[in-house]
Structures are given as structure tokens and as C-alpha cells.
Amino acid sequence: MVTEIPGPESLNQLHQLDQIQNTDAVAFFADYDKSCGNYIVDADDNVMLDLFTQMASIPIGYNHPKLTEAISKKENWSTFINRPSLGIFPPDNWNQLLKEDLLSVAPLGMKQVQTMSCGSCTIENGLKAMFIAHERRRRGGAPPTPEEMSSCMCNLPPGSADITILSFTGASHGWTLGALAASHANWMQKLDLRTMKWPVATFPSLKYPLEEYETENRMEEERSLSEVADKIEQYKKNGRPVAGCCIEPVQSAGGDNHASPWFFRELQKICKHNSVALLMDEIQTGCGSTGKFWAHEHFELPEPPDLMAFGKKMLAGGFYYREEMRPLEPFRIFNTWVGDSSKIVLLRAVLDMIKEDNLLALVSDTGTHLLKGLRDIERKYPCYISNARGLGTLCALDFPNNTERDKIIHGLRNRGVNTGPSGDRSIRLRPSLTFTKSHADIFLEIFESTIENKMA
Ligand SMILES: Cc1ncc(COP(=O)(O)O)c(C=O)c1O
């Protein structure tokens, strides 16, 4: 480390940017030319081991040569230069890109895919797909009536139906209005915005380590599931039926909250029983960071979810879906670009590296090592650190409150380690898939010395 974070150059840049927009969330300015692998370099030449990776979205480290190679290949240039409107004028290699890349990692049983740009846009359109499928079923496949077609133009029933989406406390599905209505992680995202009044069930509040509290945790999960079933019933009775249910395999921004595979299997049963579509939001958990390509593979669901959203490490946004969720008319799930084919070109390089370097096995091994290290430190400072938890390298731990948590994040940055907050009092770790045990050891040593220094 050369300076405190933020250093003088970051502060200078911050001052300039602040004249143009709100900068309160900016931590430091980065030099992405110099950043490499698992290390991010800031504008003052401070080098930090990055366990936050642009909010969990750098799959194989900074400036990976395979990605540089993909950009420099002449055959890929036109994709980067001429961004196609994929819904109307797809490029002639689009089928190939979808089949060889996106569909090659589709969750078992899901053969349809829709690309989008960012995660929020993905969720927004996933919600729309669930509504459209719900209403098609209600009409028994008949075309919409003239009354439905005219009333929807003024946001009125019957064309604009009063149907709802069920979500969970602590969920974070994005920043656009529909996604926000299903998100409950941070009041700052929602304040002053009139979003939909949709049902919210309480996500299970489990005790960690999960294996030690199986009985209590099962009771808590049963409570949450019965709330889900009650809410679905209640909304149906009140004439506002639930069309879909959104859930993250591990609630990420809302505090890194886990639930058991059993919980997810039971939730799927309840949804199926009530004809509620299930949208698994893997935007943060997908693409390998739990040691399986998709986190929900850990749950051994008897059948795939109805939709599964991806983003972040996949570089492209979008969702896989089951045949029943496919819209039958054009322009129902649509926008100018519906994704970005250049991102699929980059994704190809990422998927190649995951296979060639067996990165899922690396994530599993490193994750086990990392979590053991976190638990060892937790045992030394039980009054300060709690609830070390993780799947693969997607790990987190809790502090007494958000002030203490924020101090540790700041202290870690000044010692050359970048981590991120989650929920009220957690630190979340979101390293790239190329993060090794040696990186984990560097992190654990700096983390422990930061805690030691704090306690001294
Ligand atoms: C689980 C989940 N869903 C959706 C989103 C929204 O994605 P984006 O920020 O790309 O719009 C996020 C972003 O953090 C997320 O973690």
C-alpha cells in the first residue's frame, strides 16, 4: 500500500466527479489497466487483493489474457463495434453463440433462454414472463378480449390484471421498479418510490453452522414455508393471486442468508401445488462461485425452476426458462438490444477457462479452506465475529453492528484487501473463480491482524 484509501488521486477524481453526480458510494478510483488477476490497483497505485470483484462480477480475474485475446480476434470485432438489436436483427452467428455457449451451461431441463443487459432488466422481464404465462393460463389459451386490450393501455383491469409476485424479506433482485417491489434488503433503494403492494414472506433466519442447528433451523424453515402457503392462499382469496415467487439461492445483498436444500425443495412443491411460477435468481450466486455452476444444483430439486436468472460473472444478463413460460406473441419480452452479443463472445472465453482449469473444483477446495480459516478466527474472537458461513468461496461473516463492520471493511482496504458489505452487519466475500488457497491465506492473515489491531 502506498497511501490511505482513498488516496490523493482518488480524492482528486472524486472531487471532480462530485461536481457532476452524487459520489457518496464511491470507495476509490481504480486503474483497470494495472489491475491483474485477483488484484485491483487504485488510482494511487495501491494494490489490493480483491474479494469483492466489482460486486461479484469478475469471473476469472482482471485483464485475463483469454479475454484480451477474444477482443483482439478480428472475427469478433464487428460484434463489439455494431451492437445488434438481437430481437429483430440478430447476427448470423447468434444461434451458434447461444447454443455453444449459453445453452451449454443451461440448468438441467431448461432449454429456452432469453438474453438481457443487466441483472435488474433480467428480473424485470422474468417477472413479466411469469405474469404473461399466468394470464395465458387464466384465459385457457384464448386470445385477449378487446376490453383487455384497451383497459391495459390505462393500467386498468381486466387487461392490467391485479396479480402479484411473492418475495422474501432480505431479498435483493435489482433496482428497477418491479425488481425493487420484490427486494427488501435496503431502504435506501426503495424510499420515495411507489412500488407494487405484493406479498412478502419472512425468509428463514437460520443459526450457523447449519449442521449444528438442524432441528431449530428446520422449525424456522417450516415457519417460513407455512407463511408462504398462507400468503398465497390469502392473496388468492382477496382476488390478487400470486403469479410467481422470486428467490435467491443465497440471499446476497440482504445479509448472505442461507436456507437448506430441503427448504428450496419444499418451496418448489408449494409453488407447483398453487400454480405459482418459481424464479430462481442466480445473478449473484451463478457461474461457479459456490463450487457448482449454479448454486441451486446444491438443492437437488426434483425438477428445474420455471425461470433461472443469470448476470454478473456470466458477463451477460438473461434467464433460462421452461417451455411453458415462453411468450407466444412478439414484443412481449423485448427492448432495443435484449442483451449484448459481444458479452457472449467474452463469456465463451470464461466458460473455456472454467473447463480447462477445472475452476469449479478449485472454488470448492478454496472455499472449504477459506471457511475453515474464517471459523478458526471466529473462535478466537467470539464476541466480535459470528456466523461464518459459505458455499464455495461465496462466504460471509457477521459483526456486532454496521459501524463495526464498516470499520473492518475500511481497515482491510488500508491493509490491501477489498471486501464488501452485506445486510446490516455482514461482510461478504466474492472473489473470482481463480482465487486460490494462497490468496485465501493472504486474506486470512490480513483479516486476523485487522481484527487483532481492532481489539488491541
Ligand atoms: C441476486 C441479484 N439479483 C439482481 C441483481 C441486480 O443486478 P444488476 O445490478 O446487474 O441490475 C443483483 C445485483 O446485485 C443481485 O445480486
Average pLDDT over residues 43-70: 98
Yes or no: say if 190 and 199 are a contact pair by the CB < 8 Å rule. Answer: no
Residue 70 lies in a domain: no
**pLDDT of 41:** 98
Same domain, yes or no, for 124 and 233?
Answer: yes
Residue 282 Cα: closest atom of ligand 1: 1
In angstroms, rounded to a whole number, what is the distance separating the alpha carbons of residues 211 and 379?
17
**pLDDT of 141:** 86
Same domain, yes or no, for 378 and 298?
Answer: no
Q: What phi and psi values does residue 3 have, to the nearest 5 degrees?
A: -135, 175
Residue 232 lies in a domain: yes
Same domain, yes or no, for 198 and 233?
Answer: yes
**pLDDT of 194:** 87
In the predicted structure, residue 135 carries a pLDDT above the cut 90: yes
Ligand 1 geometric centre to CA of 257 (Å): 16
Yes or no: say if 221 and 260 are a contact pair by the CB < 8 Å rule. Answer: yes
Same domain, yes or no, for 110 and 59?
Answer: no
Where are any strands of DSSP class E within 29-125? 39-41, 47-50, 112-116
**Residue of the nearest CA to atom 10 in ligand 1?**
119
Among all chains, which residue has been given the C-alpha cell 478454496? 366
Residue 2 lies in a domain: no
**Residue of the nearest CA to atom 13 in ligand 1?**
174
Decide which of 328, 354, 380 is a domain's last residue.
354
Decide which of 296, 329, 354 is a domain's last residue.
354
**Residue of the nearest CA to atom 9 in ligand 1?**
119
Same domain, yes or no, for 339 and 396?
Answer: no
| Complete DSSP assignment for 50-67 | ESSHHHHT-SS-BT-HHH
Decide which of 354, 376, 393 is a domain's last residue.
354
Same domain, yes or no, for 382 and 330?
Answer: no
The number of folded domains in the chain is 2
For ligand 1, residues with CB inside 6 Å are: 55, 118-120, 123, 172-175, 248, 252-253, 281, 283-284, 311
Same domain, yes or no, for 90 and 119?
Answer: yes
Q: Which three-class secondary structure state does DSSP give residue 114?
A: strand
Grid cell digits, residue 3 = 497511501
**pLDDT of 362:** 98
Cross-strand partners of 62: 37
Residue 279 lies in a domain: yes
Model confidence band, residue 201 (pLDDT cutoffs 50, 70, 90): very high
Same domain, yes or no, for 279 and 423?
Answer: no
Residue 1 lies in a domain: no
Q: What phi and psi values does residue 195 have, to the nearest 5 degrees?
A: -105, 180
Same domain, yes or no, for 329 and 379?
Answer: no
Residue 253 Cα: closest atom of ligand 1: 16
Residue 174 Cα: closest atom of ligand 1: 6
How many other CB atoms are there within 10 angstroms of residue 106's CB atom? Answer: 19
DSSP H helical segments within 139-167, as ranges?
146-151
78-133 tens-digit pLDDT? 999 999 999 999 999 999 999 999 999 999 999 999 999 999 999 999 999 999 99
In the predicted structure, residue 454 carries a pLDDT above the cut 90: no
CA-based torsion, 268, 272, 273, 276: positive or negative: positive
Yes or no: say if 114 and 316 are a contact pair by the CB < 8 Å rule. Answer: no
**pLDDT of 300:** 97
Ligand 1 geometric centre to CA of 317 (Å): 10
The percent of residues above 90 in pLDDT, for the chain, comes to 99
Ligand 1 geometric centre to CA of 120 (Å): 6
Indicate the average pLDDT of the chain.
97
Average pLDDT over residues 243-270: 98
Residue 94 sits in which domain range?
A: 75-354
Residue 312 Cα: closest atom of ligand 1: 10
Contacts with 398 (C-beta within 8 Å, 6 or more apart), sequence order: 385, 386, 387, 405, 425, 426
- CATH code: domain of residue 18: 3.90.1150.10
Same domain, yes or no, for 94 and 139?
Answer: yes
Pairing mode of beta strands 200-201, 257-258 = unpaired
Average pLDDT over residues 189-196: 92
Residue 211 lies in a domain: yes
Residue 171 Cα: closest atom of ligand 1: 1
Same domain, yes or no, for 181 and 237?
Answer: yes
- CATH code: domain of residue 156: 3.40.640.10
In the predicted structure, residue 376 carries a pLDDT above the cut 90: yes
Residue 68 lies in a domain: no
Q: Which amino acid is at 23?
A: T
In the predicted structure, residue 455 carries a pLDDT above the cut 90: no
Ligand 1 geometric centre to CA of 238 (Å): 31
In the predicted structure, residue 344 carries a pLDDT above the cut 90: yes
Same domain, yes or no, for 136 and 46?
Answer: no
Residue 445 lies in a domain: yes
In angstroms, rounded to a whole number, what is the distance separating the alpha carbons of residues 6 and 14?
9
Residue of 284, 319, 428 best suited for mutating to test ligand 1, as the one with most atoms within 8 Å of CB: 284
